[in-house]
Homo-oligomer: A and B are copies of this chain.
Amino acid sequence: MRNLCMTVSFDGTAYNGFQTQPGGNTIQDHIEEAIRLLTGETVKIHGSGRTDAGVHARSQVFHFHTSSAIPVERWCLALNARLPDDIIVTSAREVPLSFHSRRSAKRKTYRYTINANQFPDVFQRRYQVHHPGKLDIPAMQQGLEYLIGTHDYTSFASRHSTKTSHVRTIYNARIEVDTSMSRAGTRDQGVLHTYITGNGFLQHMVRIIMGTLIQVGEGKRSPEDMLRILQAQDRSAAGPTAVSQGLMLWSVEYDELDDKS
């Protein structure tokens, strides 16, 4: 028995999220079917975590056990030939049997993208939320900083969260503003990429942070409200859950695998 670890990129627009669920049409379902077509084996893959319906991944990591003797360097092309063109396996390696894509993960980074230019970007429209109204970006950056550290993030977790502890650590959170598509002399404010890196994330956590942070940008809340919301440990203190299409699982890092990103 071998343990294979792979990275996969996907456009989540057409799927019901990463993990298998009763409604079907998940990324996991399609990957398991591709493995079955390739090897004849029925395997269960384990992702580094779930992603919601409509969320994208630049680099999700999963592992599975297989009896197949197919050399590791053949897997990517062989699976991609059996996958839809919005799911692409980009690396494969053999790992110790003790490796687990979720339990072994040390850090994860998500990116959330807001297009604050006057018009949507037709070529990025599936991967960003369009917000042409005025946003106070420095206030958003300030608000985001209150979330860095080790905290109980109950206020930023779905009420349906089943985790026994809501304590997590956010190592880094920053907004990068890309003005390359902004036109001079207009109200274009740029494209805001918010990167949040932590040791783990609760259900809807990044989307609730972003929904609240957009309210800070709109002037409906102050940056300091982010701290008060955090301290409240109450979901109703925070803002709405931002839509899924702006969210992308950017990278998953492991101690054992130095170039997993």
Give every chain B residue within 8 A of A85 (Cβ-Cβ). 120, 122, 125
Which secondary structure dominates chain A's binding surface?
mixed
The answer to whether B11 touches A80 (Cβ under 8 A) is no
Instruction: Using A9-B122, A85-B122 as known contacts, list a sample of 7 further A-B pairs with CB atoms less than 8 Å apart, ordered by residue number in A.
Output: A9-B119, A11-B125, A76-B119, A85-B120, A85-B125, A86-B125, A123-B127
In chain A, positions 122-174 with a C-beta closer than 8 Å to chain B are 122-123, 125, 127
Q: How many copies does the complex hold?
A: 2
**Contacting residues, chain B, for A9 (C-beta < 8 A):** 119, 121-123
Q: Which residues of A contact B (CB under 8 A)?
A: 9-11, 56, 58, 76, 80, 85-88, 90, 119-123, 125, 127
The chain B residue sitting closest to A10, CB to CB, is: B122
Residues of B close to A120: CB separation below 8 A:
85, 88
A86 to B120, CA, bound (A): 10
- Whether B86 contacts A119 by the Cβ 8 Å rule is no
List chain B residues, Cβ under 8 A from A56: 123
Please state if B11 and A122 are interface contacts (CB–CB under 8 Å).
yes
> In chain B, what residue has the closest Cβ to A184?
B259
Can you offer 6 A-B residue contacts whose CB atoms are under 8 A?
Answer: A9-B122, A10-B122, A56-B123, A80-B119, A85-B122, A88-B122
Question: Could you tell me if A11 and B88 are in contact, using CB atoms closer than 8 angstroms?
Answer: no
A251 to chain B, nearest CB (A): 13
A-B pairs with lowest CB-CB distance, top 7: A9-B122, A88-B122, A90-B119, A11-B122, A88-B119, A88-B120, A86-B122
In the bound complex, how far is the Cα of B85 from the Cα of A131, in angstroms? 15
Distance of A73 Cα from B149 Cα, bound (Å): 46
Q: Shortest distance in angstroms between A136's beta carbon and chain B's nearest beta carbon?
A: 23
**Closest partner residue, chain B, to A124 (CB atom):** B123
Q: Is B88 a contact of A123 with CB atoms below 8 Å?
A: no
Q: Within 8 Å CB of A127, what residues of B? A: 123
